[in-house]
Amino acid sequence: MPLYDELVAIIEREGSQAAAIGITAGRARADLTRDEVLTLLDSRPVKMNTANVGLAMFRKSSGATTVSTTMEIAAANGIAVFATGGLGGVHKHYGTQLDVSADLAAFARFPVAVVASGVKSILDVVATRELLESLGVPVIGFRTDRFPAFTVSDSNAGVDGRFDDEEELADFLRFELGRTGRGVLVCNPVPMASAIASERFAGWLAEAEHRASEAGVSGRGVTPFVLGALAEISAGETLRANLALVKNNARLAARLASRMG
């Protein structure tokens, strides 16, 4: 499991301790071992959000956690900051069907700072940013004034404030989490060497969405199908960008955690 090992090494080099979060046999865990993570991944786990995690725990099930559930478990275990790739958000068909990720509302409930490369590019990025504002979620850019869109470093949306210094950002997070009891989104753009131009991505996305429509994919199956199609259409470029941003986010989250104490 080289990616897991690499992420742990990145975090430990920055003076922090890695905590793997998941649900095993009905228990919400923030201390999964390497073997437990591997076993969970090999089982092709169900994704658990804040709506269904209680049912899964009651039935003694195991599964992976979305950002919203990871925030809940992190908060319950005293973890103030964690890293992910990109948030869930408002889907593009919102005008005809209510489809909004529970990730966004979780920020209003749990005092955790989440380091992410904005929101997944396949969603309605601007609408997601607007909803975060409506929920009162501080959106902070680390060395950026723009709201990133996952593997695309920029979008048509901005952030509430920018920090260029990790020490100052850690001080703000400690202040804001304690002040409100709510979460903070720290936007860390994909490294420029791995970023995908918005025009190229738009073309790939149109093709991936066409394939999903042709295949009759709907509901929760759309996102994984489209992400898989994007990796194929881009000859792996979206996957490589994804890996680069995850490592970069883990590095920043570890640095912030070590400074927050």
Identify the bridge partners of residue 87 per DSSP, sorted by sequence position.
119
Residue 195 maps to which CATH number?
A: 3.40.1790.10
- Residue 95: the pLDDT is 58
Domain boundary among 55, 78, 101: 78
Residues 242 and 169 in one domain: yes
- Residue 94: the pLDDT is 53
What is the extent of the structural domain holding 31? Answer: 20-78
Handedness of CA 15, 17, 18, 22 (dihedral sign): negative
- Residue 1: the pLDDT is 62
Q: Both ends of the chain: CA-CA distance in Å?
A: 29
Residues 168 and 64 in one domain: no
- Residue 184: the pLDDT is 98
Which position has the token pair 């979460």?
183
- Residue 96: the pLDDT is 64
Vertex 22 angle, CA 6 and 194, to 5°: 35
Q: How far apart are CA 73 and CA 71, in angstroms?
A: 6
3-state SS assignment for residue 95? helix
8 Å CB contact between 69 and 51: no
Question: Would you state the structure tokens that stand for residue 176, as one six-digit string?
Answer: 């804001």
Domain count, the chain: 2
Residues 92 and 166 in one domain: yes
Q: pTM above 0.85?
A: yes
The number of helices, as runs of H, and strands, as runs of E, in the chain is 10, 9
Residues 106 and 217 in one domain: yes
Residues 170 and 115 in one domain: yes
- Residue 250: the pLDDT is 98
- Residue 98: the pLDDT is 77
8-state DSSP, 113: E
Mean pLDDT by 10 residues, the chain (261 residues): 90 96 96 93 89 95 96 97 95 73 96 96 92 97 96 92 98 97 97 94 93 85 87 95 97 97 80
Residues 121 and 31 in one domain: no
Residues 108 and 43 in one domain: no
Residues 54 and 96 in one domain: no
8 Å CB contact between 189 and 144: yes
Residues 70 and 125 in one domain: no
Residues 209 and 113 in one domain: yes
Residue 77 CA from chain centroid, whole number? 19
Question: Would you state the structure tokens that stand for residue 112, as one six-digit string?
Answer: 């955790």
Q: How far apart are CA 256 and CA 261, in angstroms?
A: 9
Residues 218 and 128 in one domain: yes
- Residue 222: the pLDDT is 80
Closest residue by Cα to residue 120 from 111, 112, 128: 128
Question: Would you state the structure tokens that stand for residue 142, as one six-digit string?
Answer: 């680390």
Other Cβ atoms less than 10 A from the Cβ of 77: the count is 13
DSSP string, 191-221: PTTT---HHHHHHHHHHHHHHHHHTT--GGG
Domain boundary among 78, 106, 121: 78
Residues 164 and 38 in one domain: no
